[in-house]
Structure 1
């Protein structure tokens, strides 16, 4: 499985339309890949809180429309990072989107863990409730976003829902790059999955983003890591390594303790057929 992480530069001088055009062009350049990944909130800006209400959109809004067309044009599975979603009741969510090669939306995930403590995302957005995995041509993909990396119980939930590969779009602060490097490797190692973490670069809202997008394998080995500036990282992942490593070092089989999801949270997965998110709950 060939995957590309497009590490977009998201700067204060860009407009959302300019970012959409640039992202779509870069995705179309990746024809021949299996999976392409974009960062967190790249259209609106993850640190530009004051513009979120203005830039919020529905799941069929301009960003989703542009990314659907780009996925279809390139013939790739596209994890379009995340956008500021406005629900019908007016609530804003940080929502990740996964499109198939036909451009159909096959899964979306509302970020559960909101960053900011008493400011920003934590106060301006609602929190998601679903742990989401999506079957694809190359394996079951689990969805998480940025700050979620600090919460291992979410990743254990994704594992229990069948994840073999977890995608994490981010706008991680450059000041905590060391945490980013540690947590991405750790989550791959402890769940014995491939972890693809695509982080934005550039500065906006007064925050310098880390870049250093990374692909780690089920041993926790970094296969590729980007630098601090805009670039595309491409890597070939042998998905058979997931089952091989889980057999060779069967730590997941030896689990004894489990933690129930908090009330109001649940695990769900999506059927392969159909163009919108849906599926069973357990």
Structure 2
């Protein structure tokens, strides 16, 4: 499976411009042979644009996510719209199972080649260090895994990288590749590099850590989108500027590495 990670240049609060740029990048990646396009955390509004969250929020049946469903179908490509600000009340009104009847969630949605929703992940670990996410968002409760293109994929988001038990539960559900849409800021660049690689090594799985690019007042995202293989080897990586990162994900490679180095079987 060819995965294209879009390190999008995100403008705080500029929802329509951000969405248009994400759609353009998705179409371009599909034209270049992508099987799966992955977008970064809160690419629609910008992570640090806290005051814009409520204005930007829509339910899962809203027109914004509908545009990505349409692009997935039109371009014959899987798309992780990861993540957007979800209005939980609007989703509930549309019949979607939600963790709370009201509030906002930091939500990733995976659309398949037909434009159908295959996975919905709401960020479990909300970030409170110099952030308003914990006061403005409702945490998710589930860690779904699904299969696309013969690959078992799961999703975590940014701060989740610091909680290895979440990744291990997905491995127990059969995951081959974990997608990690993020808005990881400076100065914690070494944490970003180390944690993504560590999650790949300890779980013998692919990790595609997809970061944004751009500045928000005194905060700036560090970019450095990277895809790691099941040994923790870097397959492809970027600097801090907007770009795309492409890598091949092979479930047979995961099985072979786990057979060669059976650390998961040696747990006690």
TM-score, normalization: structure 1?
Answer: 0.87
Structure 1 counterpart of 2:219? 207
8 Å contact kept, 2:11–2:18: no
Structure 1 counterpart of 2:122? 110
Q: Indicate whether 1:143 and 2:144 are aligned.
A: no
Structure 2 counterpart of 1:193? 205
Counterpart-to-counterpart distance in 2, 1:234 and 1:74: 17
Question: Which moved further from structure 2: 117-126 or 192-201?
Answer: 117-126
Report how far residue 117 of structure 1 moved: 4.3
Alignment of 1:1-282 (within 5 A): 1-12=1-12, 15-31=14-30, 32-88=33-89, 89-117=101-129, 119-256=131-268
Counterpart-to-counterpart distance in 2, 1:165 and 1:70: 23
Unaligned runs of 5+ in 1: 257-282
Unaligned runs of 5+ in 2: 90-100
SS at match of 2:85: strand
SS at match of 1:131: coil
SS at match of 1:11: coil
Distance 1:158 1:204, change over 3 A: same
Report how far residue 54 of structure 1 moved: 1.1
- Say what the alpha-carbon RMSD is for the aligned residues: 1.3
Counterpart-to-counterpart distance in 1, 2:65 and 2:129: 29
8 Å contact kept, 1:49–1:205: no
Question: Which moved further from structure 2: 80-89 or 178-187?
Answer: 80-89
Cα deviation code 1:237-265 (max 9, x no counterpart): 23211000000000001111xxxxxxxxx
Report how far residue 124 of structure 1 moved: 1.1
8 Å contact kept, 1:48–1:205: no
SS at match of 2:174: coil
Q: How many residues align?
A: 255
TM-score, normalization: structure 2?
Answer: 0.92
Report how far residue 74 of structure 1 moved: 1.8
Report how far residue 11 of structure 1 moved: 2.4
Report how far residue 22 of structure 1 moved: 1.2
Distance 1:172 1:69, change over 3 A: same
Report how far residue 69 of structure 1 moved: 1.5
Report how far residue 120 of structure 1 moved: 0.5
Q: Which has the higher helix share?
A: 2
Counterpart-to-counterpart distance in 1, 2:207 and 2:62: 28
